[in-house]
Amino acid sequence: MKISIIGIGLIGGSIALKLKQKNVTDFVYGIDNNIENLNEAILLNIINEKADLETGIKNSDLIIIAIPVDSARKILPKVLDLISDKQTVMDVGSTKYGIVNSVKDHPKRDRFVAFHPMWGTENHGPKSAIAESFSGKAGVICNREESAEDALQIVENIVKNLEMHPIYMNAEDHDVHTAYISHISHITSYALANTVLEKEKEEDTIFQLASSGFSSTVRLAKSHPEMWVPIFKQNKENVLDVLNEHITQLRKFKSALEKDNFEYIEELIHNANKIRGILDK
């Protein structure tokens, strides 16, 4: 199988590495506006050749869109315009309602499978790509009933070879759940970094005192705005909803501290501790 990957970054690159390792593909075309990424990806054996959109698509059985969600939404209709009924298109974006909606009336809608692998890091670019990234994680397929059976099977086979377990969801539910479980973590982490940068003017002190706990909580704050601003834009209502709840939760700590109500703080912490039971099942 020949594959075109649009966007040879962390996710696109990691998928290419894994699918080559599993012999799912013998040839990967890399399509990217960033020529440095492409050259690096060739050196790292992530792609076989760089291509323009038309050439890549013409020669591929599967086209994977792995660019920020706003650009993905724009490019998808063009990609569908260019393919035949034998080709399949998938994306890997963190929001799903917008992209699914953008092609709902496209005559080749059924060649597209909306996908979201639940993995990422704060790093970017082909250098950060890791073949084993996805193993054991969830791979969400949205609105499966809008995809052709053979297109769905091709993507399910990709999910299997990425060693992910597939989860099926409609796009609206996906965006609600990811706002809760993924998008809010990024805002929390960005806001925590900005808090510390605002309060702690001695950078050396941050560097010297930063424990593994702080580094862990603030890790996502290294994630790039090119990826995350479009996610917040496309999932605005859900993100706002959970952000309001998060501010409410922080105000509970604040108000309990102000009133020396340490019994209530203990209760809040006991409740938060439940996350251990859920995550460490």
Restricting to residues 164-193, which ones interact with a second copy according to CB under 8 A?
A: 165, 167, 177-178, 180-182, 184-193
259's tokens: 């009133």
Min dist. Cβ of residue 231 to a second copy (A): 11
Q: At closest approach, how far in Å is the CB of 135 from a second copy?
A: 12
* Distance of closest approach, residue 18 Cβ to a second copy, in angstroms: 16
Residue of 35, 86, 145, 276 that binds a second copy (CB under 8 A): 276
What are the structure tokens assigned to 15, written together?
């998928």
The answer to whether 178 and 209 are in contact (CB under 8 A) is no
Which segment (9-17, 22-30, 146-154, 245-253) binds a second copy by CB under 8 A? 245-253
Q: Under 8 Å CB-to-CB from 86, ≥6 apart: which residues?
A: 61
Site for a second copy in 135-164 (CB under 8 A): 137-138, 140
Distance CA 141, CA 162 (A): 14
Contact between 254 and a second copy by CB under 8 A: the answer reads yes
Do residues 214 and 135 make contact, with C-beta atoms less than 8 angstroms apart? no
The CA-atom distances, in angstroms, between 268 and each of 112, 265, 271 are: 44, 5, 5
The answer to the question of residue 49 lying near a second copy (CB under 8 A) is no
**Do 129 and 46 contact (CB within 8 A), yes or no?**
yes
CB of 185 to a second copy, least distance (A): 4
CB nearer to a second copy: give 27 or 190: 190
Considering only 11-19, 81-89, 153-161, 238-246, which stretch makes contact with a second copy by CB under 8 A? 238-246
Position 206 contacts a second copy (CB under 8 A) = yes
Query: Exposure string (b/e) for 174-186, b if CB count within 10 Å is 16 or more?
Result: bbbebbeebbbeb
